[in-house]
Homo-oligomer: A and B are copies of this chain.
Amino acid sequence: MSSKDIITLLHGAGGSYMHNLIKQIFMTLDDNFGDIGLQMLDDGAVINNVVFTTDSFIVRPIFFKGGDIGRLSVSGTVNDIAMMGGDPVALSLGVVIEEGFPIHDLEKIVNSIKNTALEAGVHIVTGDTKVMEKGSLDKIIINTSGIGFRSKQLDHDIETLRKTREPKEWLVPLNLRPGDKIIVSGTIGDHAIAILSSREGIGFEANVSSDVAPLNKLINGILEIGGVADAKDPTRGGLADLLNDWSEKSKLGIYIREEDIPVKDEVRAASEFMGMDILELGNEGKAVIAVSPEYVKDVLNELWSIPQGKDASVIGEVRKDIEGVILETSIGGKRYVGRPLGDPVPRIC
């Protein structure tokens, strides 16, 4: 990337293009501040025990199967706080609206924000409203930022990790150790396929709903069990991006088995039809969790006990004898899983 270049859709698609842009341009803002600061490139930052994160949402369509931009905006920020080990508490709501946008649709979105905030137990405490002239913005975009405080479940979890390692104080990739099992909390790819099939003129319709949901209660549930080294939400760029992130930051290898990855039949069919790699598809109601082996059974049982975790599965483990991310395919072969250039479906969040 040279500074003569221009921004492309891939620069916002959660893969290697975006990561390079962030490293080359935005990381120049890093001044090494915070308990977990910009340099960690984690789901959020931690400053004086306050977890702080932000996401802007540009999803199309704004109402889709299984959710809408309002539910997405709350869930996304709640989940980034939860994935650090924080209890999300308060959210800001910045809306930018195109002139001519129906107030009725705005009401629907705000109602969905309200319900999702209630579900997650968070509060909208501040906001901002801007309007752009017709034609200068496609409908509406929403930014939510959020703050949370250290959860007491995290204290317990970090305590349990001390039996097998010297953990950091928060859920970060540096906590990963060889032998940790990798769990996904449910089926992969639902959100991206639901978004695609909610679009008009895309040429297929899959009977799949988005998984968009706040996961803070799910995360607190497993932290209460213990042995959780890190958790991360596989949003833009999917499992492939997330596991590469873990492998790079922990300097450990990750081995996963294709046949153990839960995927809905419709999602598999749709992604084959579209020629997309399921591992690169974005999710908005899933967590990927690295768990110390002796806690895996209990963590799975906890996940299975709640609706959002009923399809949770162990899909692989952290290894020191390999580098990068390796997938054992269903037919028994092995391949490296690279960082995607970007999510194959644009504007999913």
Q: What is A's interface to B at a CB cutoff of 8 Å?
A: 1-13, 18, 21-22, 25-26, 28-31, 33-34, 37-38, 44-45, 47-48, 50, 52-58, 89-90, 92-104, 106-107, 110-111, 113-114, 117, 123-133, 136-138, 141, 143, 145, 147, 149, 346-347, 349
CB distance from A192 to the nearest CB of B (A): 15
Copies of this protein in the assembly total: 2
The closest CB in chain B to the CB of A114 belongs to B29
Q: Are B96 and A58 in contact (CB under 8 A)?
A: yes
Contact B12 A97 (CB under 8 A): yes
Task: Given contact pairs A5-B102, A6-B102, enumerate 16 new A-B contacts (beta carbons under 8 Å).
Answer: A3-B107, A5-B103, A10-B131, A21-B129, A22-B129, A25-B107, A28-B110, A29-B114, A34-B125, A38-B123, A47-B89, A54-B126, A56-B94, A56-B128, A132-B138, A132-B347
Given contacts A13-B131, A50-B147, A138-B132, contact A44 B102 (CB under 8 A): no
Given that A7-B97, A131-B12 are known contacts, is A126 also in contact with B29, CB under 8 Å in the complex? no
Known A12-B130, A129-B18: A33·B123 in contact at CB below 8 Å: yes
Q: Which residues of B contact A346 (CB under 8 A)?
A: 133
Q: A29-B113, A47-B89, A90-B33 are in contact. Are A4 and B106 (CB under 8 A)?
A: no
With a 10 A CB-CB cut-off, give which of A26, A28, A346 has the most chain B CB atoms: A26
* CB neighbours of A149 from chain B (8 A): 48
Q: A29 and B102 in contact (CB under 8 A), knowing A125-B52, A136-B138, A145-B143?
A: no
Q: Cβ of A10: which chain B residues have Cβ within 8 Å of it?
A: 131
Task: Give the distance in Å from the alpha carbon of A5 to the alpha carbon of B131 in the complex.
Answer: 15
In angstroms, Cα B54 to Cα A55, docked, is: 12
Contact of A129 among B12, B28, B50 (CB under 8 A): B12
* CB atoms of A132 and B58 under 8 A apart: yes
A30 to chain B, nearest CB (A): 8
Q: Among B53, B92, B136, which residue has its beta carbon within 8 angstroms of that of A52?
A: B92
CB pair B29 A117 closer than 8 Å: yes
Rank and list the top 6 A-B pairs by shortest CB-CB distance, nearest first.
A12-B131, A145-B145, A54-B92, A45-B125, A136-B138, A33-B123
Kindly list chain B residues whose C-beta atoms are within 8 Å of the C-beta of A113: 29
Q: Which residues of B contact A125 (CB under 8 A)?
A: 33-34, 37-38, 45, 47, 52
Task: Give CA–CA (A128, B45) in the complex, Å.
Answer: 12
Q: How far, in Å, is A307 (CB) from chain B's closest CB? A: 25
A92 to B51, CA, bound (A): 12
Contacting A50 at CB < 8 Å: which of B11, B50, B136?
B50
Q: A34-B90, A50-B50, A145-B143 are known contacts. Are A97 and B11 too (CB-CB below 8 A)?
A: yes
Question: How close is A211's CB to chain B, nearest CB, in angstroms?
Answer: 20
Query: What are 12 A-B residue pairs whose CB atoms fall within 8 Å in the complex?
Result: A7-B106, A11-B131, A12-B129, A26-B127, A34-B90, A50-B50, A52-B125, A54-B128, A56-B143, A94-B94, A145-B145, A147-B147
In the complex, A175 Cα to B170 Cα: how many Å? Answer: 40
